[in-house]
């Protein structure tokens, strides 16, 4: 269907010059920090960096000897699946709804996009207030209907709280992309399906969703990265990883050890582990999930 376009450059340097700005950005903001993380992960240093000792793989060994670190892999998997899954499902639903709204669609969209402008830490605090035992609006309502809410001591409650905050924060982003994707689907296709007798449900799954798969795939990758890397501020503000270590996801520990506890070596080793996980996950997604994407 698609016509392949290929531009041929006559000089060898022009294409390089054109991609150079992007290359520089990638090198400075991605490869350089990654290299630094690798470098720090084999060192142990005091807070001020006045004594630096090369320790080889000691930081990694210490990590994997720590049972609670291994346990946080499970927490991270549950948290990331919930955040990415719920985030995508809810925003797809909202985008499909918003796509059909005729009157006041601008208002709906603005309101739905709003949470994206909220800083993660603020999102964490907002949800914390709503769910605060004994004074929060939501926990008060839950108590009224007989559900005892206490995320300070109940791990499941705490997980629900941080997942809700993280999903809420990311829905706007997903919504924007889904809505744009839906609106770029030619109306004629949907109309043709309607004429053939397909109802809204069938039209969505056989026409719209297959055409949305590139967007959905892109968002899946982005959301997994988001859940793995960008949620530490929410965790920090809402639960601090507690109760116990029930919401201490991997990236939260990276943040805590690096910025609060000032253990740069240990923190760098963890971020290297995290980097490897996300690279593997992304490769898996591109190799297996992408096969089911219609471009």
Partner 1 sequence: MNLKSLVLAASACSVLVALPAQAQTEIQWWHSMSGQLGEWVNGLAKGFNDSQKEYKVVPVFKGTYPESFAAAIAAFRAGNAPHILQVFEVGTASMMASKGAIIPVTEVMKTGGVKFDPSVYVPAVAGYYTAPNGQMLSLPFNSSTTVFHYNKDAFKAAGLDPDKPPTTWPEVALAAAKLKISGHKCPFTTSWQSWTQLESFSAWHNVEFATKRNGFNGLDTRLAFNTPLHVRHIENLANMAQQGLFVYKGRNNTADATFVSGECAMTTGSSALYGAIKRNAKFTGGISTLPYYPDVPGSPQNTVIGGASLWAMSGKKPAEVKGVALFFKYLSDPQVQAKSHQETGYLPITTEAYLITDKSGFYKQNPGTDVSVNQMIRKTTDKSRGIRLGNFVQIRTIIDEELEPVWAGKKSAKQGLDDAKKRGDVELEKFEKANKG
With CB under 8 A as the contact rule, the residue among 24, 46, 147, 282 that binds partner 1 is 46
- Compute the least distance from the CB of residue 25 to partner 1, in Å: 23
Among 120, 124, 181, 266, binds partner 1 (CB under 8 A): 266
Q: Which of 171, 263, 271, 274 binds partner 1 (CB under 8 A)?
A: 263
Residue 29 is given by DSSP the state I
Q: Residue 237 CB: number of other CB atoms within 10 A?
A: 20
- Distance between CA atoms of residues 99 and 77, nearest Å: 32
Give least dist CB 291 to partner 1, A: 42
Among 251, 256, 270, 272, binds partner 1 (CB under 8 A): 256
> In 10 A of CB 142, how many CB atoms?
17
Q: Does residue number 23 form part of the binding site for partner 1 (CB under 8 A)? A: no
Following DSSP, what letter does each residue of 122-158 receive, concatenated?
A: HHHHHHHHHH-TTT-HHHHHHHHTT----TTT-HHHH
In the bound complex, what is the minimum distance in angstroms from residue 256's beta carbon to partner 1?
7
Rounded least distance, CB 29 to partner 1, Å: 18
Stretch that binds partner 1, among 46-54, 99-107, 136-144, 278-286 (CB under 8 A): 46-54
134 lies in the binding site for partner 1 (CB under 8 A): yes
Number of residues lying near partner 1 (CB under 8 A): 34
Q: How is 148-204 classified by DSSP, letter by letter?
A: ---TTT-HHHHHHHHHHHHHHHHHHHHHHHHHHHHHTS-HHHHHHHHHTT--HHHHI
DSSP 117: G
Q: Tell me whether residue 75 or residue 84 sits nearer to partner 1 (CB atom).
A: 75
Q: Which of 244, 276, 279, 286 binds partner 1 (CB under 8 A)?
A: 244
Helices within the chain (DSSP H only): 13-26, 32-41, 58-65, 67-100, 105-113, 120-131, 137-144, 155-183, 187-195, 200-203, 209-229, 232-238, 250-255, 264-284
Q: Is residue 45 at the binding interface for partner 1, with CB under 8 A as the rule?
A: yes
Provide, rounded to whole angstroms, the least separation between the CB of residue 241 and partner 1.
7
Can residue 120 be called a binding residue for partner 1 (CB under 8 A)?
no
Please, what is the minimum distance in Å from the beta carbon of residue 261 to partner 1? 5
Burial label, 48 (beta-carbon count in 10 A; 0-12, 13-18, 19+):
exposed
Output the six-digit token pair for 175. 């919504």
Q: 254-292 b/e with 16+ CB inside 10 Å = b?
A: bbbbbeeeebbbbbbbbbbbbbebbeeeeeeeeeeeeee
Q: Which stretch binds partner 1 (CB under 8 A): 32-40, 42-50, 100-108, 114-122?
A: 42-50
* Window 139-178: contact mask with partner 1 (x via CB under 8 A): -------------xxx------------------------
By CB under 8 A, name the binding residues for partner 1. 44-51, 53, 55, 62, 65-66, 68, 134, 152-154, 240-245, 248, 256-257, 259-263, 265-266
């Amino acid at each position: 269907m698609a016509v392949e376009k290929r531009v041929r450059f006559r000089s060898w340097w022009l294409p390089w010059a054109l991609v150079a700005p992007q290359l520089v950005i990638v090198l400075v903001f991605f490869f350089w920090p990654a290299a630094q993380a690798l470098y720090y992960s084999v060192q142990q240093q005091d807070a001020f960096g006045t004594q630096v000792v090369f320790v080889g793989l000691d930081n990694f060994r210490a990590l994997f000897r720590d049972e609670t670190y291994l346990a946080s892999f499970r927490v991270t998997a549950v948290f990331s699946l919930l955040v990415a899954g719920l985030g995508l499902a809810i925003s797809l639903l909202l985008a499909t709804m918003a796509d059909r709204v005729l009157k006041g669609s601008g208002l709906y969209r603005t309101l739905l996009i709003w949470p994206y402008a909220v800083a993660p830490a603020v999102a964490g605090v907002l949800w914390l207030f709503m769910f605060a035992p004994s004074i929060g609006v939501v926990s008060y309502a839950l108590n009224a209907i007989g559900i005892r809410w206490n995320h300070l001591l109940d791990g499941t409650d705490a997980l629900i709280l941080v997942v809700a905050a993280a999903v809420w924060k990311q829905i706007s982003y997903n919504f924007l992309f889904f809505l744009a994707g839906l609106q770029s689907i030619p109306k004629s296709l949907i109309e043709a399906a309607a004429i053939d007798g397909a109802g809204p449900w069938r039209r969505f799954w056989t026409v719209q969703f297959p055409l949305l798969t590139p967007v959905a795939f892109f968002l899946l990758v982005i959301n997994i990265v988001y859940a793995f890397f960008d949620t530490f501020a929410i965790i920090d503000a809402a639960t601090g990883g507690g109760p116990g270590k029930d919401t201490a996801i991997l990236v939260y520990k990276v943040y805590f050890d690096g910025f609060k506890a000032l253990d740069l070596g240990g923190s760098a080793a963890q971020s290297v582990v995290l980097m490897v996980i996300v690279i593997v996950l992304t490769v898996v997604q591109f190799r297996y999930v992408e096969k089911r994407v219609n471009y």
